[in-house]
């Protein structure tokens, strides 16, 4: 029996689990290790913030998906891999042995900006959502005006926050960094303006205070 360990319930691993659910592979013992039994789906996060979706409807049930995929669900966070011994060390001190390991633990928000420790990072998404619920949304500054930043700005404005979206690029919010044709950016920009979000383009944040 070959033991395959999936670290993190990122998009790629969710697709792997879904394909195991429809087409099981015999002779393989699949394990998913990830911190949350249920996690919010990023594409629906702005809709949850705006109140268009209930959190329940926007969550991926990692544990249930494992059940359908005949995979073992292990709740935890991997802190170290011993590649020689083929062992993953977990935050709680336990370990998982494997024959093959696949990593999909996602990305973290760039935090080298001076003062970033005082800001709220959008990832991990569930921590962001929890922290947002505890805050009074008066004036909000969002650094980064890609598709996610633009969607978050509109969602927060929908909740009556006064939002300013800061971009280091001259392109409209939501436009791809390397795009010459800005059709998508112009469309998104129209919606962003309609929701009353202020856009500060070509003015990248260099630090945050307060």
Ligand X SMILES: Cc1cc2nc3c(=O)[nH]c(=O)nc-3n(C[C@H](O)[C@H](O)[C@H](O)COP(=O)(O)OP(=O)(O)OC[C@H]3O[C@@H](n4cnc5c(N)ncnc54)[C@H](O)[C@@H]3O)c2cc1C
Residues near ligand X (CB under 6 A)? 7-12, 33-36, 39, 42-43, 45-46, 77-78, 104-107, 122, 148, 151-152
Q: How far is the CB of 200 from ligand X (least distance, A)?
A: 19
Residue among 10 and 173 whose Cβ is closer to ligand X: 10
Q: How far is the CB of 26 from ligand X (least distance, A)?
A: 26
Residue among 14 and 199 whose Cβ is closer to ligand X: 14
Burial 173-186 (b: 16+ CB within 10 A, else e): bbbeeeeeeeeebe
Give 41's contacts (C-beta < 8 A, 6+ positions apart). 58, 59, 60
Q: How far is the CB of 13 from ligand X (least distance, A)?
A: 7
Q: How far is the CB of 62 from ligand X (least distance, A)?
A: 7
Asked if residues 80 and 88 have their Cβ atoms less than 8 Å apart, the reply is yes
Look at residues 188, 197, 111 and name the one whose alpha carbon lies nearest to residue 147.
188
**Length in residues, the chain:** 210
Residue among 7 and 210 whose Cβ is closer to ligand X: 7
Taking residue 143's Cβ as centre, other Cβ atoms within 10 Å add up to 19
Residue among 132 and 209 whose Cβ is closer to ligand X: 132
Q: How far is the CB of 153 from ligand X (least distance, A)?
A: 10
DSSP state, 91?
T
Give 52's contacts (C-beta < 8 A, 6+ positions apart). none
Residue among 149 and 209 whose Cβ is closer to ligand X: 149
């Amino acid at each position: 029996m070959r033991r395959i360990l999936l670290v993190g319930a990122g998009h790629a691993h969710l697709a792997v689990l879904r394909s195991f659910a429809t087409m099981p592979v015999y002779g393989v013992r699949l394990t998913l290790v990830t911190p949350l039994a249920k996690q919010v789906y990023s594409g629906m996060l702005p809709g949850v913030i705006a109140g268009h979706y209930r959190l329940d409807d926007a969550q991926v049930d990692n544990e249930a998906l494992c059940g359908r995929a005949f995979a073992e669900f292990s709740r935890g966070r991997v802190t170290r891999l011993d590649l020689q011994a083929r062992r993953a060390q977990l935050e709680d001190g336990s370990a998982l042995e494997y024959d093959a390991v696949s990593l999909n633990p996602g990305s973290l928000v760039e935090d080298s900006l001076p003062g970033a420790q005082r800001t709220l990072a959008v990832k991990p998404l569930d921590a962001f959502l929890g922290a947002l619920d505890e805050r009074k949304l008066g004036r909000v500054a969002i650094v980064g005006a890609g598709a996610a930043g633009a969607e978050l700005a509109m969602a927060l404005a929908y909740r009556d926050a006064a939002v300013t979206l800061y971009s280091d690029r001259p392109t409209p919010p939501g436009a791809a960094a390397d795009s010459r044709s800005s059709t998508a950016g112009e469309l998104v920009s129209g919606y962003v303006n309609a929701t009353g979000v202020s856009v500060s383009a070509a003015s990248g944040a260099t630090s945050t205070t307060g």
